[in-house]
Amino acid sequence: MDAPARDDSAARRGGDDPTAPWTTRRLLRWIDGHLAQKGVDSPRVCAEMLVGHVIRAERMRLYMEADRPASADELERLRALVQRAARHEPVQYLVGEAWFWSKQFAVGPATLIPRPATEHAVEECIAAARAAAERGSIPVRVLEIGTGTGCITVCAALGLSGERRTAEPGDPKRAVDTAFVATDLVPAALDLARANAAAHGMAARIDFRAGSLWAPLQAAERGTFDVLVSNPPYVADDEWDEMAPNVRDHEPRTALAGGAQGMDVLAPLIAGAHEWLRPGGRVVVEIGHRQRDAVLAAARANPALANADVRKDFEGFWRLLVADALIPA
């Protein structure tokens, strides 16, 4: 079957019957198969995102209105997007959004696309902030290094304001008085993060700053943060060619590549984290699965950090370093 073409006669074709219209059902089936043939990861999800974006429908509506025929204009737009997706351009960039922590975030090529594994960092950040509040820190201060889309800080701010991750019934969480500082060295990423914070009503709670690592911070802020969270570049040089083409060829290398061992940013981050944390404050850092031993060694080599541990994500990969700033005896 040919891809949806530009002429009106093509708009009437679909499925096994050449005279049938291009309904939502037939478009999803064709795009799914086409992207799978091209080796695109999660082709069905990509098909749903592309069709939903073009016809402006949420996922549930795609199936509730599966027999809706697409217009000629919709087919034209969809055809162009499918061609780009088949060349492994990330669908999230094509539609300009991604879902993270059950929230919608604007995304663009200046930042990484938020991934489910990073949600563990949000949960750990929220738990550490609540523990700090119980110790008497008011307000609880949270620092994120390398915020990208702002997804970690925005979701942590939402969670600490009492919002639940999902709309499922349950007791509301107690709000915690918090103040956030989020940094990034890419101006376009900060613009996107600010827009996402505003879209979720968290702009007033987050101080976005430009700069690398500790440069955006003030000397007076040393020892004032209760949580330091980061998803830094950590892909080692020898892992680069193993990455999926949609990541390797399209997402920003500066947000991914971590040097020969993947430790170019991780090492100074771990070595200096305690300087910005209050005693008992927690550092939460996403890492690569193969870096568990090197990261643990770096954390244990810092005498001002204690309780260093690396935790697995939902897929069973070593993903999250946690450690605490030492409390003086």
For the chain, give the mean pLDDT: 92
DSSP 8-state secondary structure symbol assigned to residue 69: B
pLDDT at 166: 65
Q: What CA–CA distance (Å, rounded) separates 76 from 97? A: 21
**For residues 122 and 102, is the Cβ–Cβ distance under 8 A?**
no
What is the value of pTM for the model shown? 0.90
> What separation, in Å, do the N-terminal and C-terminal C-alpha atoms of the chain show?
72
Domain 8-87: homologous superfamily in CATH = Ubiquitin-associated (UBA) domain (1.10.8.10)
Residues 26-40 have pLDDT tens digits of 999 999 999 999 999
**What pairs with residue 286 in β-bridges?**
320
The dihedrals phi and psi of 137, each to the nearest 5 degrees, come to -75, 115
Confidence class of residue 3 from pLDDT cuts 50, 70 and 90?
low
* Domains 8-87 and 100-325 belong to one CATH topology: no
- Assess whether pLDDT exceeds 90 at residue 225: yes
Sign of dihedral through CA atoms 247, 252, 255, 258? positive
Phi-psi region of 56 (alpha: psi -120 to 50; beta: other; left: phi over 0): left
- Assess whether pLDDT exceeds 70 at residue 194: yes
Domain boundaries of the chain, sorted by first residue: 8-87, 100-325
Secondary structure class of 231 (helix, strand, coil)? coil
When the candidates are 3.90.230.10, 3.40.50.2300, 3.40.50.150, 3.30.2000.10, the CATH number that belongs to 100-325 is 3.40.50.150
Question: Cβ-count burial of 169 within 10 angstroms (0-12 exposed, 13-18 middle, 19+ buried)?
Answer: exposed
- Report the pLDDT averaged over residues 221-248: 95
Q: What CA–CA distance (Å, rounded) separates 60 from 58? A: 6
pLDDT at 162: 85
Q: What CA–CA distance (Å, rounded) separates 69 from 92? A: 24
How many whole angstroms from its chain centre is CA 203? Answer: 18
Q: What CA–CA distance (Å, rounded) separates 266 from 246? A: 24
Look at residues 128, 164, 166, 116 and name the one whose alpha carbon lies nearest to residue 314.
Answer: 116
Look at residues 170, 161, 171 and name the one whose alpha carbon lies nearest to residue 140.
Answer: 161
- Supply 48's token pair: 């749903």
Which helix (H) or strand (E) covers residue 134, if one does?
helix 119-134
Residues 251-296 have pLDDT tens digits of 999 999 999 999 999 999 999 999 999 999 999 999 999 999 999 9
Q: Are strands 140-145 and 225-230 parallel, antiparallel or unpaired?
A: parallel
- Supply 203's token pair: 């702009």
